[in-house]
Amino acid sequence: MDFLRNLFSRTLGLGSGKREKLLDELSLEGVTKFIQSDQCQNIICMVGAGISTSAGIPDFRSPTTGLYANLEKYNLPYPEAIFEISYFKKHPEPFFALARELYPGQFKPTVCHYFIRLLKDKGLLLRCYTQNIDTLERVAGLEPEDLVEAHGTFYTSHCVSSHCRKEYDLGWMKDKIFSEATPKCEKCQSLVKPDIVFFGETLPARFFSCMQSDFQKVDLLIIMGTSLQGCGLAWG
């Protein structure tokens, strides 16, 4: 969060004194008018679990309906362990059991996802930064270059062995998960993990490189479905 605050302050001039007024009014109507104006050419969306809940995918921390509140059946030492890389390497079974329930392809995009697609179609979307691993941004029609999947993606998987790192595609991983077999590397027999970011792993390099360039150009930042802190796997 400090990284984001400093970046916004530096690139957007937040908190640096008097700024040119961009919105006629601080309301949905005011933002809509700004989007339709010639001043708004580059929009960044930062999205989290909240944009997928109406698709039937639970968020992480809601008291009774959230993902963490419904993991008792996996006998975890604490809910977040299911997404910790150190726990996964010793006990991968709970994660893959959960993955069968939430696997991409079983849910449809929401109005929020198609709103982002509309921004793309209108030539206004500079980038969509997403915390989500449900791939619904892709299903809605965003291309890889439109996205920064800050917490990775199910689209590819890799062997966890640093000496191997063999890559596997979505179809291979899906077959393993739904056959209830723990995915093992065909080359070295180490675990294979979807390329999602677990606690204890760094965010993708693309996140940092795009942040540095994108926020030099942005005219409007839209944040949906996330507080940018403590929502699922943190923004780093």
Q: What is the pLDDT of residues 127-178, one digit of tens each?
A: 999 999 888 999 999 999 999 999 988 888 999 999 999 999 989 999 999 9
- Look at residues 200, 169, 180, 203 and name the one whose alpha carbon lies nearest to residue 83: 200
Q: Is the pLDDT of residue 69 over 90?
A: no
How confident is the model at residue 134, as a pLDDT? 85
pTM over 0.95? The answer is no
pLDDT value, residue 207: 93
State the Cα–Cα distance between residues 13 and 6, nearest whole angstrom: 10
- Give 47's DSSP letter: E
Query: Residue for token digits 């180490």?
Result: 190
- Long-range Cβ contact pairs of 226-229 (< 8 A, separation 24 or more): 226/46, 226/47, 226/48, 226/49, 226/50, 226/131, 227/48, 228/1, 228/4, 228/46, 228/48, 229/1
Residue 5 vs residues 15, 86, 186, 227: alpha-carbon distances, Å: 10, 30, 44, 13
Q: Please choose, from the candidates 72, 134, 128, 131, the residue with its C-alpha nearest in 3D space to the C-alpha of residue 103.
A: 134
Q: Which two tokens stand for residue 145?
A: 């270059």
Cα gap 188→177, rounded to integer Å: 19
In this prediction, residue 192 carries a pLDDT of 97
Task: Answer yes or no: is pLDDT of 124 > 50.
Answer: yes
Cα-to-chain-centroid distance, residue 55: 15
Per the prediction, the chain carries an average pLDDT of 85
**Residue 221 confidence (pLDDT) above 90:** yes
* Domain spanning 39-224: CATH superfamily: SIR2/SIRT2 'Small Domain' (3.30.1600.10)
pLDDT of residue 235: 40
Tokens for 108? 């449809």
Q: Is 185 annotated as a binding residue?
A: yes
Predicted confidence band of residue 87 (pLDDT cuts 50, 70, 90): very high
Instruction: Give the C-alpha distances (Å, rounded to integers) separating 12 from 146, 214, 216.
Output: 21, 11, 8
* More confident: 199 or 120: 120
- How do the domains of the chain map onto residue ranges? 39-224
Check residue 232 and give its pLDDT: 37
| Active site (catalytic) residues | 151
Query: Which two structure tokens, joined as six digits, stand for 154?
Result: 């199910």
210 is in an annotated binding site: no
